[in-house]
Amino acid sequence: MPEGRALILETTQIRAAIQRPLVRDPQAGEQIIANLVATVSGTPLT
């Protein structure tokens, strides 16, 4: 990752992963980040 950062292209799936916790049950920041990483990597959360 250049300069210690990652750039993510916003897609419908990425947008949904971020917005989902805002309209459903509240989630901690760590859970939101885990969902985002799982969505980006294509790995479903268990």
The pLDDT value recorded for residue 14 is: 80
Residue 21 lies in a domain: yes
Residue 33 lies in a domain: yes
Residue 22 lies in a domain: yes
Residue whose tokens read 């989902």 = 20
Spatial distance between the Cα atoms of 33 and 21, rounded to a whole number of angstroms:
11
pLDDT tens for the chain, residues 1 to 46: 568 877 777 788 888 777 776 667 777 888 888 888 888 887 766 5
Residue 7 lies in a domain: no
The closest of 5, 6, 17 to 42, measured between CA atoms, is 17
Spatial distance between the Cα atoms of 32 and 21, rounded to a whole number of angstroms:
7
Residue whose tokens read 């990597």 = 41
The pLDDT value recorded for residue 45 is: 62
The pLDDT value recorded for residue 33 is: 83
The pLDDT value recorded for residue 44 is: 63
The pLDDT value recorded for residue 32 is: 80
Alpha helices in 1-46 (DSSP H): 12-23, 29-41
Domain range for 35 is: 12-41
Count of structural domains, the chain: 1
